[in-house]
Amino acid sequence: MYPEIALLNYQRSALRWDAWGTQGTDFAYPELLPAIVKMVQREIGAGHLLSLRELDLDEIKLPASRLPSSDLQLLLRITGKEGIRTDRQERVLHSCGQSYYDVIRLKTNSLREFVDAVVYPENESQIVKIIQLAAQKNWAVIPFGGGTSVVGGVEALRKKQKAILSLDLMRLNQIIDISTEDHLVRAQAGIYGPELEKVLQEKGFTVSHFPQSFEYSTLGGWIAARGSGQQSGKYGKIEDMVYSARIVTPAGIFESDAVPAASTGPDLRSLLIGSEGALGVITEATLRIHPLPQTRSYRAFLFPRFEDGVAALQAATRAGWPQTAMLRLSDPEESRMLGLLSRLRHSQTATGRIKQKVQDILLAMKSLSEHVILIVGLEGAERDVAFTARKMKHLARAHGGMDAGTSAGNSWLRGRFNLPYLRNHLIPAGIGVDTFETAVAYSRLRELRENVYQTFPSVCKHGRIMSHLSHTYPDGVCIYFTIFFALENDTLKQWHRIKDAVSAAVIRSGGNISHHHGIGVDHKSFFKKSNPTAYKWITDFKAALDPAGIMNPGKLVD
């Protein structure tokens, strides 16, 4: 398996309820943490930082379960005893996702709604029965894959429902079939990313869907959230990977036709992708697989100006070389921040300090002391990758770029799933960190970025914003913003103020509210405002498939 991927402990008892990851996993450079916190503090211009007291799980204000034991008995008859949990750890863990807003609500003890029980069905027929029972009893049902939603996708919410069930798909984690002839894999929805890749890579294949949440997210979650992996340039977004999918809705089971392409009316498969648990529970899917690439080459190029990097990225995307797995361009702010981080790492050792010195001199000589960094990921047969790498170097040079070798790229690859752990250490130190992302046509990219960069400081005094482009298309690009800021006393209000302002700036600049994070609760109002008819249509479809409105109420649409 790719060396940067690890099979983790997915037992619910091992997952951390108030932070990213499982017990025993952490940020890869713990020795740098104090210096990083100090650096960010300097960057955001905050003289003093709030510090958040760590809460014990026992301190969480958890109301008693609304499910009487008679109801639990009914569920138990479906799933067996091992399929029902109502203890504190399980209920808290399943009551929100992994957004910044989720974490600060937990850390400030301000989460108001909790799931009343967690059910762990073993198979699809148990899911059908659970949904039937929930419809009859008027319970909300929240499908739960890896629980890594950053938009409130698994948040405990109910409308008029009497109770809330979290339906955890963890036990549906089997690979059903691998067709090496058709290049397809069929698996159950609850399988984790590394579990799926392990089996496939041992057979010489890969799906290569690598969202940053990859280690903690599941097949069903990828589809429900309409996510995207870092290598979408070669392997596509999740909607390009899904060959067919199966969903249990309150109105019945649906499975899309398992064919390579169709003109049998509207594509219903694409209704499942992005359904966010609001139409039903995705139980199985067939994904396209690819022979494991013989080699992966991740190489950095430095450009003097952001515009040059954008032009190179656009030209490389349009060239359509089949080896291009990723084009990731950090803007000047993010490039500078990456430079500071790398400087911190180098400062730890004597050789590192020398390396840094040499690098500084070289960059100054090339007038690239200020630069933007483009990481180009190529995957495929050795010969093809080498050939495309030559073409890429030529293209970069034509746009004023300098080949900076493979070390930044390899370091990115190694650390690709590690960055979220940093948040675990920043928030307690009083530093908020959040991200938001959108897709936009090339012609409006500049305007969008400028509008967001003007908006953020107007709603956040002590903060820093940076961005990168990833997931590139012939017609446009995904731009992904990261913000750091000093926590205010009312952290929740602060978050809403920032979120509202930047989201509005994105929408009015021709972006959409999400390229790959989804709608959930957090993006619902912006989605509704930006395309009221789309919102209305989805509401209509939900009414047809979930007439009682029990499936993940309050997510996607109201």
| Positions 223 through 252 that interact with a copy of itself (CB under 8 A) | 225-228, 237, 239, 243, 252
Which of residues 237 and 468 has its CB atom nearest to a copy of itself in the complex?
237
Interaction of residue 312 with a copy of itself, rule CB under 8 A: no
* Closer residue to a copy of itself in complex, CB, 273/505: 273
Residue 75 to residue 89: CA distance in whole angstroms: 20
Taking the least distance from each CB to a copy of itself, the nearer of 275 and 335 is: 275
| CB of 156 closer than 8 Å to CB of 232 | no
Tell me the closest approach of the beta carbon of residue 320 to a copy of itself, in angstroms.
Answer: 4
Contact pattern for a copy of itself over residues 352 through 391, marking x by CB under 8 A: ----------------------------------------
Distance separating alpha carbons of residues 426 and 23, to the nearest angstrom: 18
Check if the beta carbon of residue 333 is closer than 8 Å to that of residue 290. Answer: no
Angle in degrees, CA 403, 405, 409, rounded to 5 = 115
Residue from the set 25, 99, 424, 530 that interacts with a copy of itself by CB under 8 A: 530
119 burial class (0-12, 13-18, 19+ CB within 10 angstroms)? buried
Total binding residues for a copy of itself by CB under 8 A? 82
- Does position 262 interact with a copy of itself (CB under 8 A)? The reply is yes
For a copy of itself, the binding residue among 32, 33, 76, 271 (CB under 8 A) is: 271
Q: Which stretch binds a copy of itself (CB under 8 A): 31-39, 92-100, 316-324, 397-405?
A: 316-324
Distances from the Cα of 27 to the Cαs of 24, 422, 426, in angstroms?
10, 6, 11
Q: Residue 177's CB: how many other CB atoms inside 10 A?
A: 11
Q: Which CB sits closer to a copy of itself, 289 or 426?
A: 289
Of 21 and 153, the one with the shorter C-beta distance to a copy of itself is: 153
What string marks each residue from 499 to 528 as x (binds a copy of itself by CB under 8 A) or -?
Answer: -----------xxxxxxxxxx---x---x-
The residue among 122 and 267 lying less far from a copy of itself, judged by its C-beta, is 267
Evaluate whether 79 touches 121 at the Cβ level (below 8 Å).
Answer: yes
Buried-exposed string 417-441: b where 16+ CB fall within 10 A, e elsewhere: bbbbbbbbbbbbbbbbbbbbbbbbe
Nearest to 487 by CA among 100, 151, 30: 100
Region near a copy of itself per CB under 8 A, out of 52-60, 167-175, 406-414, 435-443: 435-443
Beta bridge partners of 377: 298, 326
Question: Is the CB of 147 or the CB of 511 nearer to a copy of itself?
Answer: 511
Q: Nearest Cα to 186, choosing from 261, 256, 120?
A: 256
Q: Is 477 in the site for a copy of itself (CB under 8 A)?
A: yes
- Among 57-65, 314-322, 417-425, 486-494, the segment contacting a copy of itself (CB under 8 A): 314-322
Does 441 bind a copy of itself (CB under 8 A)? Our answer is yes
Taking each continuous run of H as one helix and of E as one strand, the counts in the chain are 20, 18
Within 178-197, the residues that bind a copy of itself by CB under 8 A are: 179, 181-184
Of 474, 493, 500, 508, which one interacts with a copy of itself (CB under 8 A)?
Answer: 474
Q: Which two tokens stand for residue 395?
A: 């293209």
Kind of pairing, strands 163-168 and 117-119?
Answer: parallel
Q: Looking at the DSSP assignment, which residues form a beta bridge with residue 290?
A: 206
Q: Is residue 260 at the binding interface for a copy of itself, with CB under 8 A as the rule?
A: yes
